[in-house]
Structure 1
């Protein structure tokens, strides 16, 4: 008995000693292995290994390099079951890690350090890159884990494009198995800087069709944390990025029998107080709320995305920082059923904007006080561009982003100001051109500034060729669009503003109705119909109706319209540069019909002008050769009314022909025709020349009267000449603006009389003197009757073999 007892006791002592020493041996072994990885100070406070209960616990692990802590673990624990070994695998009840701190660091060379350095693109001793061994199959043992639990895991992230601290407050993973089809559950409660991240997921990774589903919530995402990262992908660097977002997401995903991954997402996204600014733009967004339902398919050969989105956006502004102009902004936007298909075509049931603004001046906070202190004595016109509502129904964008169709565009509450310079150019266009020049420089400017941009480390956006559409029917059109109806309802106000000599002038159009149908640029477009009813400065009315093919080139158009009670004084600042005169009084009515076909214009105009008065402006700015003062004088009746018809016709393909030149010529012709109508009766029987049609339009812009014929070799006014002269005097007395040119002429009949007494140069001198005296005699008589010399112009006297024997008379 004694030997057996001693043997048993010895065995027990050996086992006890072994079990007692095992934790220390394990601690020494772990420290030694960690030290071999290049760490110079490794401490483990306690290792508890209980083979009977199946527990391994390590407490207070600290790993240092050069007296700098690289890893701190408060507690690591594993509880396992021995019986799992006899089942052909490892069964573990618990794997737990608590109170752990580590860092993820990227150095200047792009190398990463996570406890131990990980060198990016490691070089071989010969200088080339290290060859990667062929992928080998990883033999994973049969493993069951009842629970994986992480608590208070702190990760310090220091990357070039992102810095922050990620803290896992609680992480649990239950029923993890590599050989049993158990449903695993994952819960996460963590924080990235100020962002709260939580998840609750259920997965069956070993099922015939592996799946995962559950909720993911991300609260208080701070945009500023990702500013450096955003600058990698944005075309222009941003200086400021602020705001926050919350995301609530439900995920449902599977891997099918063909190893395709299919994920379904639905949830809500809320973004608040976004502020983004750069040297080019400043973007502000107060609130974005959206509900989405999306599907992501990761297939073998492609990736497909589809889904539906409903969203609301509040208070968005985009400001051009260079000019302090609001490019666009709105108070509210709703999108209903925005859908993306697998083929990437996009459709939206309705887009609704409210309080839409564009191209308004932005007053910065520091400028407000200074502006309030300025004098208000100067005349000012406020420039504003606003739209109460804009609704777009049933918009569809093709999968190549080159075909857009809209069922309806409805606008209401329009208030817009169109600023014009002295050349009648819109300030809008100047703003757009300036912004476009900054954001989309031409190839020439890119080449010019290429060296400067490279030195400034500025990314140059390459020129992108426009995408050609594939539809054969529209193969010549880069972007095809179609709008079924466009309507603008009252109240709608358009202000046309022009400043001359520091004085603003405004025309206000109040639109009662604007309707347009079938606006499209397809090669086979439908005929558009349009209708416009508006008032100008609350008094004049304008109505236009018509139809045509507005987007084809050349335009095919047919319309008719009417303008009533239009004031010349209101229009004067906008037409003075064309007319050459300032209109100080008067109004007109205008009925017109216009046909444009194959670049040929044909237009009829019926004008009635009332009580018109004009005055000269700076002669250096006069463009028109139209004698407007004379036209008023000879055309208006005793009530101050002018009725004229102006036909306009011509081919716009002619390089020397345009609408302005056609209109100018037509007006001149109408003025002359009206002048002749008056003069023909006022000068009878001395106006017979006006009856001949070929004399109605004179290329020299003059109206010629009948010649005043004198007795041969005489400059004396006889009864016949005096009667004609008195008719001219009556016309000039009644029409103050008419001036006459008097040109004395001698002819071969006069020469036959004078050649008896004079020869050679003396004869020529006598013929010239006779011609001169005839004009002088007529002018002298008219002056004696009260016509001022300023209205009577003498021409150089001349001899014409077959000319008149007397005086030719004309009117400019």
Structure 2
């Protein structure tokens, strides 16, 4: 049997319905003609309906007027013994006699009311109130009757349809059919219906040509509040899953045997839900505004808008899609009819759009797409999705684990493709441009990267070949900031960052022709735990072997600034480097043996710093060469380092330096040429490392190192290796002051003071190393200066006048070997004269004071030298000191005054 839904069955069934209507009317008239008057009509109706197959028939009243051509029936019921009854509350029929002679039934008006019909499909049979009717599309035999109905109406009626899982109750408030003429098949039949289907309000009106060779129809359909639960079982049995919600439709439909199906209008799905057990869909509302639809039985073409509110789509509990609202607008869309290609051109808008999958979540405040998309479902298709157009999102957020990427706005334009559906993977192929505003990469407590604007050009993606980028430009970039507990500001900022001709290979190798940072600002803060902002990240171990594959043609920092703070010292240090300009070429982690040339310039206050060289930064043991120059560095900025290393503070001073350094296989070799101008320190503690290394007053060392213009020149060699360099401030000064003292300092003084014949420099190693002038000799037992002593002290006075910071300590020395006999001899002469005067021998009292006499002699010699320098030489007595006198018992000791600087 032909199934419901076939087009030929549809039109054949419609013909059958109209034939049945005419048949009933004819039967009524025939019966009325055989059994007149009203009782005869009732009897005829009952008998006719019995013969049709309904044994139970009741008629409340019936009236026939042959002269008027009118039939009136009230409260007719017919049915089988067990089934439901066919009910007709009332029938009013107006007909014309004359056309009957031409085998044509002509009805002026047919009014039916209170009709109650139960239609049940059982296999290939349709049962109407227990009466089986077989629908066939075969051709009739014999002469046919024609008929026309000027006006037909059905009111206050009910039809219950049961077709397997389909249960429908059609309540007809009113059905009007006009101009139904089978003998004029091309005359349109007009119809209008108002009522309800399963409680949903229905209104249909339009025209049809059911008797035409190629039937056609046009209809305006309105349905309000149709509950989809009525067809849920039908959809489920058809494999369509579970369906729920309410449907409103306001549409225009047209079509026919020779015309494609067309439609326009709106449809709204309220509180919609659908699931097939794996995929679940729910929405507060889904609305379709159809501008046009055309279906020729094969291809589909349409234009319109599909929108939704509070949408949720879940795929097996793994991937979830949700949106507060979404709208899909199609300027044109098409389906090729073979189930392989779907094309669409238009726009997509979504508010509060969210996608979640294991380990990843994507959110947008708004999403807009304009362009064209093509889906190819064929197994041999090279691309499953091909899209061209422009997409823009606001309030974007991508979350992976505890890392989130946010942007206030992201826009991209171009083309991309998926080879086959791959879930959440990005496009496998594409060519596009993109831009983002207010971009931020964060994790709890850490702000890894932010940028006010990001612009990407010439992005290309290729299956299996990675990606390439023509140019990336970021504006107002910041990196490595910490929030929450113990916050700190970004470690790196840049006014502009430009990456050119970059690529990412399938194996993860990265390359770029140039990376430029303009207006960069780095904040480097050293603490006892390491560099702030970097120590927490760790180095990952593995040295160079753990580095990603990265090749960079040129790296440059222009107009940069470095703020350096050292909190690891007792006194914090703060340094600011301006006008930083750094360039490095040929950087490649895959070629660690490759040398990379570099240049660097910076300004520290008024100081100028410049460096250049070649390095191998990615070698297992980095090496290279360095030449650097430093001009006019204010040393007070480094006072905390000097205090930490040497225990002294810098009061004033500038440093000029030339540095030459080489590292080969980790071994250091080089030299520091230093020039210190106006270098003065605060009064040091005698226990400081510098004082101990020099073994003499620090001020004296610096005063002696200075030339006539208060400059100090030092040349310090550097050795060791990178892991333990033989170079720091304390070692350098210790070496200069200690190890090089006998050469550098002495030579400097001898050049500055050519009176070498009068002044010589010695090291007294008797007790400790001291810097001193050649001792001032005295005759045994005497404390008076001779001519040679006057000359020597005059030269010393000249030295001190040229070096205002030099002070002199005078230490008188008397000897047991030379001075004691001379004193004894003079004493004996004195005793003999006293004996003569007093007639007594002084005895033991004079012998016991010999050491005291030697100490007084030594002190008198020092005082004589001090008096000459102050009175004759013009030296401030405040710069002259007399130490405690001493007596030396060595046989080689000579009477003298030691002059210690």
Tell me the TM-score range normalised by the shorter chain.
0.5 to 0.7
> Match of 2:504?
397
Q: Distance in 1 between matches of 2:721 and 2:397?
A: 51
> Match of 2:109?
none
> Match of 1:430?
532
Q: Distance in 2 between matches of 1:772 and 1:102?
A: 127
Mapped contact 1:646–1:666 kept (Cα < 8 A): no
Shift of 1:404: 1.5
Task: Note closer, same or farther for the CA distance 1:348–1:525 as it changes in structure 2 (3 Å cut).
Answer: farther
Spell out, residue by residue over 1:563-618, the C-alpha distance to the aligned partner (whole angstroms, 9 max, x if none). 33333345556765446444343334333322222222223333333333332489
Instruction: Kindly report which structure 2 residues correspond to 1:232-311, keeping only aligned pairs within 5 A, or say none.
Output: 233=359, 243-256=365-378, 258=380, 262-274=384-396, 285-298=407-420, 305-311=428-434
Q: Which is strand-richer, 1 or 2?
A: 2
Shift of 1:268: 1.3
Q: Distance in 2 between matches of 1:636 and 1:197?
A: 85
Mapped contact 1:751–1:767 kept (Cα < 8 A): yes
Q: Distance in 2 between matches of 1:778 and 1:157?
A: 117
> Match of 2:287?
168
Q: Distance in 2 between matches of 1:751 and 1:654?
A: 62
Instruction: Kindly report which structure 2 residues correspond to 1:326-345, keeping only aligned pairs within 5 A, or say none.
Output: 328-343=449-464, 345=466
Shift of 1:725: 6.8
1:406 aligned to 496, 512, 523, which one?
512
1:197 partnered with 2:314:
no
Unaligned runs of 5+ in 2: 1-26, 35-43, 55-76, 80-85, 87-114, 122-158, 183-188, 211-217, 233-240, 246-258, 310-323, 824-847, 871-876
Q: Distance in 2 between matches of 1:743 and 1:12?
A: 162
Mapped contact 2:244–2:272 kept (Cα < 8 A): no
Instruction: Kindly report which structure 2 residues correspond to 1:204-215, keeping only aligned pairs within 5 A, or say none.
Output: 204=336, 206=338, 210-215=340-345
- Number of equivalences: 661
Task: Note closer, same or farther for the CA distance 1:477–1:645 as it changes in structure 2 (3 Å cut).
Answer: same
Task: Note closer, same or farther for the CA distance 1:519–1:778 as it changes in structure 2 (3 Å cut).
Answer: farther
> Match of 2:495?
388
Mapped contact 2:812–2:859 kept (Cα < 8 A): no
Shift of 1:350: 0.3
What secondary structure sits across from 1:526 in the alignment? Answer: coil
> Match of 1:559?
626
Instruction: Kindly report which structure 2 residues correspond to 1:184-583, keeping only aligned pairs within 5 A, or say none.
Output: 188-192=305-309, 193-199=324-330, 200-204=332-336, 206=338, 210-215=340-345, 217-223=347-353, 226=354, 233=359, 243-256=365-378, 258=380, 262-274=384-396, 285-298=407-420, 305-317=428-440, 328-343=449-464, 345-358=466-479, 386-401=493-508, 403-414=509-520, 416=521, 418=523, 420=525, 429-431=531-533, 476-489=545-558, 491-496=559-564, 507-511=576-580, 513-537=581-605, 539-569=606-636, 572=639, 577-578=644-645, 580-583=647-650
Spell out, residue by residue over 1:73-130, the C-alpha distance to the aligned partner (whole angstroms, 9 max, x if none). 65699x9x9x9xxxxxxxx9999976456799xxxxxxx99649xxxxxxxxxxxxxx
Q: Normalising by structure 1, what TM-score? A: 0.62
Mapped contact 2:759–2:795 kept (Cα < 8 A): no
- Structure 1 vs Structure 2 CA RMSD: 6.3
Task: Note closer, same or farther for the CA distance 1:261–1:544 as it changes in structure 2 (3 Å cut).
Answer: closer
Task: Note closer, same or farther for the CA distance 1:506–1:649 as it changes in structure 2 (3 Å cut).
Answer: closer
Q: Distance in 1 between matches of 2:814 and 2:226?
A: 119
Instruction: Kindly report which structure 2 residues correspond to 1:643-792, keeping only aligned pairs within 5 A, or say none.
Output: 644-652=713-721, 655=724, 657-660=726-729, 662-668=731-737, 669=739, 673-680=743-750, 684-685=756-757, 702-705=769-772, 708=775, 731=799, 734=803, 736-737=805-806, 780-781=863-864, 784=867, 785=869
Q: Normalising by structure 2, what TM-score? A: 0.57
What secondary structure sits across from 1:476 in the alignment? Answer: helix
Q: Which has the higher contact order (CA 8 A, sep 6+)?
A: 1
Q: Distance in 1 between matches of 2:853 and 2:724?
A: 48
Q: Distance in 2 between matches of 1:768 and 1:14?
A: 164
Spell out, residue by residue over 1:461-518, the C-alpha distance to the aligned partner (whole angstroms, 9 max, x if none). xxxx99x9xxxxx9934412121112344x444455689999996645224x532211
Q: Distance in 1 between matches of 2:357 and 2:820?
A: 96
Instruction: Kindly report which structure 2 residues correspond to 1:561-640, keeping only aligned pairs within 5 A, or say none.
Output: 561-569=628-636, 572=639, 577-578=644-645, 580-616=647-683, 629-640=699-710
Mapped contact 2:774–2:899 kept (Cα < 8 A): no
More divergent stretch after superposition (336-345 vs 148-157): 148-157
Shift of 1:246: 1.2
What secondary structure sits across from 2:414 in the alignment? Answer: strand
More divergent stretch after superposition (147-156 vs 308-317): 147-156
Shift of 1:311: 0.9
Task: Note closer, same or farther for the CA distance 1:283–1:553 as it changes in structure 2 (3 Å cut).
Answer: closer
Q: Distance in 1 between matches of 2:325 and 2:768?
A: 83
Q: Distance in 2 between matches of 1:362 and 1:310?
A: 33
Q: Distance in 1 between matches of 2:166 and 2:805?
A: 114
Spell out, residue by residue over 1:131-183, the C-alpha distance to the aligned partner (whole angstroms, 9 max, x if none). xxxxxxxxxxxxx9957997111235799x99862322346996779xx7545
Q: Distance in 2 between matches of 1:745 and 1:354?
A: 82
Mapped contact 2:360–2:401 kept (Cα < 8 A): no
1:153 partnered with 2:269:
yes
Shift of 1:776: 5.6
Spell out, residue by residue over 1:312-331, the C-alpha distance to the aligned partner (whole angstroms, 9 max, x if none). 223335678859xx754333
Spell out, residue by residue over 1:37-67, the C-alpha distance to the aligned partner (whole angstroms, 9 max, x if none). xxxxx987569999x99x99997566xxxxx
Q: Distance in 2 between matches of 1:659 and 1:795?
A: 40
Q: Which is helix-richer, 1 or 2?
A: 1
Spell out, residue by residue over 1:631-662, the C-alpha distance to the aligned partner (whole angstroms, 9 max, x if none). 431122333233x2413221126758344455
